[in-house]
């Protein structure tokens, strides 16, 4: 299976990066091919709703890192979103990528995919991750018509040592391995 992992944190060695690393380790051991896209370290622009992509039909006006991600969004079998919680949602870096689906929306939607959400947060109330999960499920299941294959919500993980001392990295590894 071809899997695209999109991360949204600006921390290269942060909490969510560890979830991504462990998921990838498990998935690669299971024989899957991974394309990792660390959105915070790519050349990306937010959609400016110019509608060029729809009126001209030649893609986005921005010729940036989406050019290398788009073929994976269109053709890969699974998309994994990895994000820390920022004000009860995904980070702007990862949301920017999703907004940029707009230029190739029908092609991305056309190929049915599986999806996974890996998220970390400082707090751990029963509602802490609710808006993030609702948004993720609305986009991938209700709108894109893709299938959710797993969600890991690593709460009470403010810094790297918190998650290193938890079972979440093992859960991410096992989820990757189980695909």
Ligand X SMILES: Cc1cc2nc3c(=O)[nH]c(=O)nc-3n(C[C@H](O)[C@H](O)[C@H](O)COP(=O)(O)O)c2cc1C
* Interacting residues toward ligand X by CB under 6 A: 9, 11, 14-17, 84-88, 120-123, 128, 157-158
**Residue 42: which residues within 8 A CB-CB, separation 6 or more?**
64, 65, 69
Nearer to ligand X, 75 or 165 (CB): 165
Q: How distant is the alpha carbon of residue 116 from its chain centre?
A: 8
Least Cα distance to 118 among 2, 27, 1, 48 occurs for: 27
Cβ of residue 40: shortest distance to ligand X, in angstroms? 9
Cβ of residue 103: shortest distance to ligand X, in angstroms? 27
Q: Which residue is nearest to ligand X (CB)?
A: 14
DSSP state of 88: T
Cβ of residue 39: shortest distance to ligand X, in angstroms? 12
Nearer to ligand X, 62 or 168 (CB): 168
Nearer to ligand X, 53 or 175 (CB): 175
Over its C-alpha atoms, the chain yields an Rg (Å, rounded) of: 16
Half-sphere exposure of 28 (CA within 13 A, CB side): 10
Least Cα distance to 38 among 6, 80, 81 occurs for: 6
Cβ of residue 155: shortest distance to ligand X, in angstroms? 7
Nearer to ligand X, 61 or 92 (CB): 92
């Amino acid at each position: 299976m071809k899997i695209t992992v999109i991360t949204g944190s600006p921390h290269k060695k942060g909490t969510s990066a560890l979830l991504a690393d462990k998921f990838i380790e498990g998935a690669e051991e299971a024989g899957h091919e991974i394309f990792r896209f660390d959105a915070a370290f790519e050349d990306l622009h937010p959609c400016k709703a110019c509608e060029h992509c729809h009126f001209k039909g030649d893609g986005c006006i921005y010729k940036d890192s989406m050019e290398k991600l788009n073929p994976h969004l269109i053709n890969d079998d699974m998309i994994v979103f990895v994000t820390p919680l920022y004000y009860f949602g995904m980070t702007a870096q990862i949301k920017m990528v999703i907004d940029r689906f707009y230029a190739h929306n029908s092609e991305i939607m056309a190929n049915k995919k599986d999806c996974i959400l890996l998220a970390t947060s400082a707090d751990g109330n029963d509602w802490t991750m609710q808006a993030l999960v609702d948004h993720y499920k609305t986009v991938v299941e209700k709108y894109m018509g893709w299938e959710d294959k797993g969600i890991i919500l690593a709460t009470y993980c403010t810094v790297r040592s918190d998650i290193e001392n938890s079972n979440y990295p093992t859960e991410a590894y096992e989820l990757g391995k189980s695909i």
